[in-house]
């Protein structure tokens, strides 16, 4: 149970008012706050002492679960040893150690890491690296960026420009110039209730040829996609889609960027979606599972020729090659958390565990087919989504009620996007806990019918 002091703090007048919450219906939340006090392994503890089953790994990020001793101890020790060190013209050993570990984790020659503090920063960094690379290799006319409808690439101006989620874009003006979008891949008419990758839709990648014909390849720097569209509600790529996209980008000298902020670090049972699908992108954005959500951190993984082209673009070795970075890039405490997280994954075989659990996860999720208002179920790896039909004139209301009922009535945390319930449990989940998640989600779905 909670301490008296914490209970008094929560009950204090206007205690909730000062915090302007992100991506939250602030007025409704402060009427019925969903407050969390602690976390351990697969559970949060609510402010009133209830155990809340975490079906979402926090925000797709706590892949190793909560309160893992190796990570906690590494962070505590690092704060005591070196709380901060600049990485502009100086650095510290753990930055190089973590970069080297990541270079061995990602496939092919994705062997250079540029550290950021979030997925949003990783996306904007990758877009800037793509533009800098094209200029460094003498292709300075290539400034156009191609995203995808319904894509989520964080909340920086670069990310929302190439992203395709309407609410994230509509409030903020004209955004970046020279951006276009591929069509999204969701096709309920042909692919509803697919298990894993849907059979239909690979031809949607050919829309890139149309954009090349419209703009000319000499103007296009890069294409960015999520290998599995996550935040919009788990859209696995159609069979053959990513392969066709890779072939078209290579044909036209366009860089391919995979946004793996969600899919990286075991979510699909591999170190990355690039490895899982066997498709080699030129740049990969990561965050979330990099530190299992313990400390904010992101990274862009770049192929060797991209790094070498930019770094070698000046004859003077004292010249700064890329005028980009953040005060907290490769923060020592974040690096310590990242190294301990990678070791936890390795020591406990969590990527392999996720791969072994994926078939059970798939079967359990699809057992919800036939419940009221369920119009689609999607899954891949340890990602899943149940899409509900919208209430007439009230899109998103049914899922919102499901989220609230899940927390208050059934002690489960689920994510919502529109009328979709999204799930991504920590990789330490057991088969019994998967069954428990699905059972509670089923109760929630029935309750909001």
Helix 350-366 and helix 431-447, axial crossing angle in degrees, nearest 10: 40
**Dist CA 180 CA 215 (whole Å):** 10
Q: What domains are there in the chain, each with its CATH number?
A: 4-63+349-447 (3.90.1150.10), 71-348 (3.40.640.10)
Q: In this predicted structure, what is the pLDDT of residue 8?
A: 56
Q: Quick one: how far is CA 56 from the chain centroid?
A: 12
Note whether 196 and 382 are within 8 A (CB): no
Q: In this predicted structure, what is the pLDDT of residue 315?
A: 84
- DSSP secondary structure letters along 356-404: HHHHHHHHHHHTTTTSTTEEEEEEETTEEEEEEPPBTTBTTHHHHHHHH
Query: Average pLDDT by consecutive 10-residue portion of the chain (449 residues)?
Result: 52 78 95 96 97 98 98 98 97 98 98 98 98 97 98 97 94 94 98 98 98 98 98 98 98 98 98 98 98 98 98 90 97 98 98 98 98 98 98 96 96 97 98 98 95
Note whether 431 and 70 are within 8 A (CB): no
**Dist CA 168 CA 159 (whole Å):** 10
């Amino acid at each position: 149970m909670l301490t008296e002091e914490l209970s008094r703090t929560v009950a204090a007048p206007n205690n909730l008012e000062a915090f302007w919450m992100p991506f939250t219906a602030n007025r409704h939340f402060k009427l019925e706050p969903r407050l969390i006090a602690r976390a351990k392994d697969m559970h949060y503890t609510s402010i009133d002492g209830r155990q809340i089953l975490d079906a979402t790994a926090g925000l797709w990020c706590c892949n190793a679960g909560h309160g893992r001793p190796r990570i906690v101890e590494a962070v505590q020790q690092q704060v005591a040893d070196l709380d901060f060190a600049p990485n502009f013209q100086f650095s510290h050993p753990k930055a190089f150690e973590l970069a080297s570990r990541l270079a061995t984790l990602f496939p092919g020659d994705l062997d250079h890491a540029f550290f950021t503090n979030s997925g949003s920063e990783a996306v904007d960094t990758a877009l800037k690296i793509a533009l800098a690379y094209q200029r460094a290799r003498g292709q300075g006319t290539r400034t156009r960026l191609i995203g995808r409808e319904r894509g989520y690439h964080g909340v920086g101006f670069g990310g929302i420009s190439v992203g395709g989620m309407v609410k994230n874009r509509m409030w903020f003006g004209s955004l970046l110039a020279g951006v276009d979008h591929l069509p999204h891949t969701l096709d309920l008419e042909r692919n509803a209730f697919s298990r894993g990758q849907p059979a239909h839709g690979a031809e949607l990648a050919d829309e890139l040829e149309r954009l090349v014909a419209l703009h000319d390849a000499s103007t296009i720097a890069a294409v960015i996609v999520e290998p599995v569209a996550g935040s919009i509600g788990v859209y696995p790529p159609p069979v053959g889609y990513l392969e066709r996209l890779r072939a078209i980008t290579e044909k036209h000298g366009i860089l391919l960027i995979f946004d793996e902020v969600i899919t990286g670090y075991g979510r699909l049972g591999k170190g990355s979606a690039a490895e899982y699908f066997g498709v080699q992108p030129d740049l990969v954005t990561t965050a979330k599972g990099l530190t299992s959500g313990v400390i904010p951190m992101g990274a862009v993984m770049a192929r060797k020729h991209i790094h070498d082209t930019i770094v070698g673009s000046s004859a003077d070795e004292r010249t700064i090659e890329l005028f980009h970075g953040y005060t907290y890039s490769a923060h020592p405490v974040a690096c310590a958390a990242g190294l301990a997280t990678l070791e936890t994954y390795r020591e406990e075989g969590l990527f392999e565990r996720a791969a072994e659990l994926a078939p059970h996860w798939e079967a359990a999720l699809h057992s919800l087919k036939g419940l009221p208002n369920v119009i689609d179920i999607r899954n891949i790896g340890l990602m899943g989504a149940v899409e509900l039909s919208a209430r007439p004139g009230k899109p998103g209301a049914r899922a919102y009620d499901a989220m609230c009922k899940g927390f208050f009535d059934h002690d489960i945390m689920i994510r919502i996007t529109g009328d979709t319930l999204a799930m991504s449990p920590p990789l330490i989940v057991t088969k019994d806990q998967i069954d428990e998640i699905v059972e509670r989600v089923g109760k929630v779905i029935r309750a909001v019918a």
